[in-house]
Amino acid sequence: MNPFSSETRLRDMIRAIRACKTAAEERAVVRKECATIRASVSDNDNDYKHRNLAKLMFIHMLGYPTHFGQMECLKLIAAPGFPDKRIGYLGLMLLLDERQEVLMLVTNSLKQDLNHTNQYIVGLALCALGNISSAEMARDLAPEVERLLLFRDPNIRKKAALCSIRIIKKVPDLAENFVNSAAALLKEKHHGVLLTGVQLCTDLCKVSPDALEYIRKRCTEGLVKLLKDVVNSPYVPEYDVSGIADPFLHIRLLRLLRVLGHGDADASDCMNDILAQVASKTESNKNAGNAILYECVETIMSIEDNSGLRVLAINILGRFLSNRDNNIRYVALNMLMRAITVDSQAVQRHRATILECVKDSDASIRKRALELVYLLVNENNVKLLTKDLIDYLEISDQEFKGDLTAKICSIVEKFSPEKIWYIDQMLQVLSEAGNYVKDEVWHALIVVISNASNLHGYTVRLLYRAVQKSVDQEVLVRVAVWCIGEYGDMLVNSVGTLGIEEPITVTESDTVDVLETAIKHHTSDLTTRAMCLIALLKLSCRFPSCSERIQDIIVQNKGSLVLELQQRSIEFNSIIQKHQNIRSALCERMPVLDESSYSIRRAGSLPAVASSLQGSAVTLPNGVAKPSAAPLVDLLDLSSDDAPVPAPSQGNDFLHDLLGVDLSSGLSQAGTNQTQKSGTDALLDLLSIGTAPASSSFSALDGLSLGQGTDTSISALSGLASTSTAMPATQPSSLVGNSPMVDLLNGFGPSEQIQAEENNAAYPSIVAFESNNLKMTCNFSKQPGNLQSTLIEANFINKSSNVYTEFIFQAAVPKFLQLHLDPASSNTLPASGDGSITQKLRVTNSQHGKKSLVMRIRIAYKLNNKDVLEQGQISNFPHGL
């Protein structure tokens, strides 16, 4: 069998693989072939090396592993014959890359081949070196390559030139060795050598300032002359591409001139004429000509200023832009983007055409054009451009709407000349593509609306109209719901009508209709529905006539499967029913949102977890003073992921939600301030007062609310809810009283008095919960070696003189905790401390060391056959559990 007839067998294998119907079949064939090749490799079967490697390359292309063939490449390269070397080098380039260590083994063979007497073998070695050499190889073989730059055959010289490029990129300090020979290449006649020589000079100039200086001085004139010759050369069939002699050489010469002319007035002067000639004489009806013009424009833009040439260049781009060929328009947009820094006026002239490109059917072009339009916007043209873009938004492709919306919003925010325009544009965007608008954007819109007090009526009427038409645009609905909640009365009474508005008559029940539709609409998500509930609550106060209807709508959500909604509706319902006296205060309009602090926050921080107590809290749309860095995101306290696991919704939850406080932030602060804190008073957490006096937390609570009530005209709760500064912790000391807050708590009594008991154990026991009737103490222990989990032994003591029966203890923890309850020792609690119930709990803290334990509890029992329910929160767990 002769070693060169491998072709037939390679063909057979390819045929067999192609005949495979399934991937599994193909794998089977490949596996079999690989096995044969391996066997042949281990037999060191010289006859088939050549063929085996060819097969391996094919298998490699299909994506199968072929590393076992790497050594075969090296063997073939070391073989004496040309055919072996040819396939060996090909395999080397295909199967290996520069990062494989095997490559080092080939350096010696390469060195020999670079000195081979057969020029084709030298060529193979140069090609391999140029394509995959590592820095070490480049250093080792640089002298050989340098010598080959002077080789007698031009085909070797050109390969050596490209090899040199690889070498100087891998090892830039070798650059100076190549400068002289590279400059010499520029005097050649052979186009291949010229082409590569020019390229080598360009790369030398990029890596070495000395080389740049040298070539600029010695070669600029020669290059200009060379370009002139090429431009004016007669028809040469060998190099002709659609009527242009060697466009590749043109392009490389222009590129080198660009490097030489950049930052050097003399060199730039020298090339002005020829650039003008190329720019004006090159045929632009073929791709090759346009490629040259492209390069020429680039060069004109980067060399030293010559206004005449620049006009020429911008005109070329203008022609490109109106070309019917998509490719040409694409590059025109790309280049205009770079030209904008040089001459933005000139680019502005093409605005209309560029705007057309935004509407192109080609995604690549649209994307470029949109970027460019974005750069073109300024105070003068913003209205025009925005109008156009918004008009287009209506008909644009779905997948483009996201990009387009983001850009429009950004333009509107950046350049809006007045608030009414900003609001108009944003509402249009929301109506067209509300679902693509990012949260920050509509949050910012709400801040702006809140600040434009003269536009409240106008905005709410506009939104009312818009939301009738575009029910599906979730974000639009949210903004509308918020505004209706805040300014619904202006809608009905047509307050603050602007001249430009069409008169509109809206009744109170129309307004409620909008909210009812929104809350029931199938696309509305949790946030929207929750916002609707708040808006309804506010309206119930503003539209007394609709109060009952609103209550009905709210009550419908009592059965919602979403805890958040269920809870809210129960709470709001109770406000409407039982707390008329504070309702109007609760439903006050939001104080104006602070624009500056909002924008700072937006710029400076990611919406994440609340961190600093000290920073002045931002007033949020629903009136919460909140130290969080996530101003609006948490506005509805929907971050229930972080919040403790939902316990039955009463008591604490009520206030949490009403105030919209992100519970987790309060808790994490509670954790850090544990030692000074009195513990379970959720309200203090809510208010983010980490340094409350360790004593009577409850009076502090009353004091707070009352203090607010007297200090400000608004009443206690809304005072709490909307104060924009963090509550000073000192205030509570002054006042004690019976504030509405207590009512709100519905007798959820003084259950949270805590004394921190110091125990000498590793972890002190605590009184976790105490009410008039009941006291719960906790002892802690840890199993050695398992820091995350804690054993808690809870003891319950009956302080009353009646027996408690059917005693049930329940607990809930946030997600980062895992809770396991063991059965309680009994379900009957004898009277007067005459015995106790012991309940063991195991808690595993997955964030041990970062977060402290926290737990919400509920205790149910029967007292004289009457159901009693007590609940509370334990957050005074010792540190380090």
Partner 1 sequence: MIPISRNNKNSGHLFPLIQRQILSPPLIIIIPSSKMIHFVLLISRQGKVRLTKWYSPYSQKERSKVIRELSSLILTRAPRLCNFVEWRGFKVVYKRYASLYFCMCINQDDNELEVLEIIHHYVEILDRYFGSVCELDLIFNFHKAYFILDEILIAGELQESSKKTVARLVAAQDSLVEAAKEQANSVSFIISQATK
Report the 10 Å Cβ neighbour count for 421: 15
Terminal Cα distance for the chain, rounded: 79
* Residue 339 CB-half CA count within 13 A: 29
Both structure tokens of 605:
């921080």
**Residue whose CB is less far from partner 1, 160 or 686:** 160
**Residue whose CB is less far from partner 1, 7 or 391:** 7
CB 264, min distance to partner 1, A: 21
Of the listed pieces 57-65, 710-718, 729-737, 843-851, which binds partner 1 according to CB under 8 A? 57-65
Q: Which of 69, 247, 719, 872 binds partner 1 (CB under 8 A)?
A: 247
DSSP symbols for 802-814: S-EEEEEEEEE--
What residues from 714 to 753 belong to the interface with partner 1 (CB under 8 A)? none
**Residue whose CB is less far from partner 1, 6 or 551:** 6
Q: Which of 25, 27, 28, 97 binds partner 1 (CB under 8 A)?
A: 97
Tell me if 61 contacts partner 1 by CB under 8 A.
Answer: yes
**Residue whose CB is less far from partner 1, 246 or 508:** 246
**Residue whose CB is less far from partner 1, 297 or 659:** 297
Report the 10 Å Cβ neighbour count for 622: 22
Tell me if 2 contacts partner 1 by CB under 8 A.
Answer: yes
Tell me if 685 contacts partner 1 by CB under 8 A.
Answer: no
Of the listed pieces 245-253, 390-398, 599-607, 853-861, which binds partner 1 according to CB under 8 A? 245-253
Tell me if 4 contacts partner 1 by CB under 8 A.
Answer: yes
User: What residues contact residue 351 under an 8 Å CB cut-off, 6+ apart?
Assistant: 373, 376, 381, 385
Tell me if 49 contacts partner 1 by CB under 8 A.
Answer: no
**Residue whose CB is less far from partner 1, 12 or 472:** 12
Angle at 203 between CA 200 and CA 207, to 5 degrees: 135
Q: E-assigned strands of 426-584?
A: none
CA separation, residue 261 to residues 199, 208, 274, 312, 338 (Å): 16, 16, 13, 18, 18
CB 147, min distance to partner 1, A: 18
CB 229, min distance to partner 1, A: 15
What residues from 115 to 144 belong to the interface with partner 1 (CB under 8 A)? 120, 123, 126-127, 130-131
What residues from 322 to 381 belong to the interface with partner 1 (CB under 8 A)? 325-331, 338, 361-365, 367
CB 331, min distance to partner 1, A: 6
Residue 775, classed as helix, strand or coil, is strand
CB 330, min distance to partner 1, A: 4
What residues from 377 to 436 belong to the interface with partner 1 (CB under 8 A)? none
**Residue whose CB is less far from partner 1, 60 or 840:** 60
User: What residues contact residue 863 under an 8 Å CB cut-off, 6+ apart?
Assistant: 773, 800, 802, 804
Given a contact cutoff of 8 angstroms between Cβ atoms, the answer to whether 679 and 875 are in contact is yes
Instruction: Quote the CA–CA distance of 504 and 273 in Å, as a whole number.
Output: 69
**Residue whose CB is less far from partner 1, 18 or 522:** 18
Instruction: Quote the CA–CA distance of 520 and 595 in Å, as a whole number.
Output: 33
**Residue whose CB is less far from partner 1, 256 or 630:** 256
Q: Which of 195, 201, 257, 437 binds partner 1 (CB under 8 A)?
A: 195
Tell me if 672 contacts partner 1 by CB under 8 A.
Answer: no
Both structure tokens of 627:
């130290």
Q: Which of 58, 151, 392, 816 binds partner 1 (CB under 8 A)?
A: 58
**Residue whose CB is less far from partner 1, 138 or 483:** 138
**Residue whose CB is less far from partner 1, 201 or 716:** 201
Instruction: Quote the CA–CA distance of 175 and 165 in Å, as a whole number.
Output: 9
Tell me if 54 contacts partner 1 by CB under 8 A.
Answer: yes
Q: Which of 30, 37, 56, 57 binds partner 1 (CB under 8 A)?
A: 57
Pairing verdict, β 836-845 and 817-821: antiparallel
Of the listed pieces 233-241, 586-594, 601-609, 639-647, which binds partner 1 according to CB under 8 A? 233-241
**Residue whose CB is less far from partner 1, 119 or 777:** 119
CB 269, min distance to partner 1, A: 25
Residue at token pair 């509805």: 636
Instruction: Quote the CA–CA distance of 390 and 408 in Å, as a whole number.
Output: 7
CB 857, min distance to partner 1, A: 52
Pairing verdict, β 836-845 and 789-798: antiparallel
**Residue whose CB is less far from partner 1, 53 or 590:** 53
Burial of 464 per CB tally in 10 Å (0-12, 13-18, 19+):
buried
CB 549, min distance to partner 1, A: 53
* DSSP-assigned letter for residue 28: H
Report the 10 Å Cβ neighbour count for 577: 11
Tell me if 11 contacts partner 1 by CB under 8 A.
Answer: yes
Helix axes 547-556, 508-520, angle to 10 degrees: 0
Q: Which of 56, 76, 94, 554 binds partner 1 (CB under 8 A)?
A: 94
CB 812, min distance to partner 1, A: 45
Given a contact cutoff of 8 angstroms between Cβ atoms, the answer to whether 600 and 562 are in contact is no
**Residue whose CB is less far from partner 1, 295 or 474:** 295
Tell me if 826 contacts partner 1 by CB under 8 A.
Answer: no
Tell me if 294 contacts partner 1 by CB under 8 A.
Answer: yes
Q: In what order do the strands lie in the sheet with 817-821?
A: 766-770, 774-782, 789-798, 836-845, 817-821
**Residue whose CB is less far from partner 1, 172 or 750:** 172
Both structure tokens of 34:
């690989």
Nearest 10 degrees: Cα torsion 767, 771, 772, 776: -40
Task: Give me the amino acid identity at 630.
Answer: A
Tell me if 51 contacts partner 1 by CB under 8 A.
Answer: no
**Residue whose CB is less far from partner 1, 403 or 513:** 403
Q: Which of 284, 287, 640, 672 binds partner 1 (CB under 8 A)?
A: 287
Helices (H) and strands (E) in the chain, counts: 38, 12
| Count of residues touching partner 1 (by CB under 8 A) | 75
Q: E-assigned strands of 232-379?
A: 240-241, 244-245
**Residue whose CB is less far from partner 1, 195 or 727:** 195
What residues from 154 to 193 belong to the interface with partner 1 (CB under 8 A)? 155, 158-159, 162-163, 165-166, 169, 191-192
Tell me if 62 contacts partner 1 by CB under 8 A.
Answer: yes
Tell me if 295 contacts partner 1 by CB under 8 A.
Answer: yes
Instruction: Quote the CA–CA distance of 340 and 533 in Å, as a whole number.
Output: 50
CB 349, min distance to partner 1, A: 23
Q: Which of 101, 238, 502, 758 binds partner 1 (CB under 8 A)?
A: 238
Q: E-assigned strands of 710-827?
A: 766-770, 774-782, 789-798, 804-812, 817-821
Instruction: Quote the CA–CA distance of 630 and 624 in Å, as a whole number.
Output: 12
Both structure tokens of 663:
């519970």
Tell me if 217 contacts partner 1 by CB under 8 A.
Answer: no
CB 201, min distance to partner 1, A: 12
